[in-house]
């Protein structure tokens, strides 16, 4: 999801200057968000719960 959002802001084949400026804007956006979270102006983003992986017993006992 992040890569698609970032790429949509850059365009298809950005030049170096466009890429650097876009990266600077993205960094400023993250810094602003972190500061907002620190000062309780914004809440932390909700993430999906971690996936639980189970290894089948047959796989564990395979030699």
57 in any annotated domain: no
The pLDDT score that the predictor gives to residue 27 is: 94
- Using CA atoms of 48, 6, 27, 32 in order, give the dihedral in degrees to the nearest 10: -60
39 in any annotated domain: yes
Banded model confidence at residue 12, pLDDT cuts 50, 70, 90: confident
31 in any annotated domain: yes
50 in any annotated domain: no
**Segment 33-61 mean pLDDT:** 90
Range of the domain at 39: 2-45
14 in any annotated domain: yes
54 in any annotated domain: no
Q: 21-40 pLDDT, tens per residue?
A: 989 999 999 999 999 999 99
If one counts every other C-beta atom within 10 angstroms of the C-beta of residue 18, the result is 13
Count of domains forming the chain: 1
Question: pLDDT at residue 4 above 90?
Answer: no
């Amino acid at each position: 999801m992040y890569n698609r959002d970032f790429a949509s802001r850059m365009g298809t084949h950005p030049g170096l200057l466009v890429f650097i400026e876009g990266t600077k804007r993205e960094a400023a956006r993250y810094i602003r968000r972190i500061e907002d979270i620190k000062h309780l102006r914004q809440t932390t983003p909700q993430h999906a719960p971690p996936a639980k992986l189970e290894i089948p017993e047959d796989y564990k006992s395979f030699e």
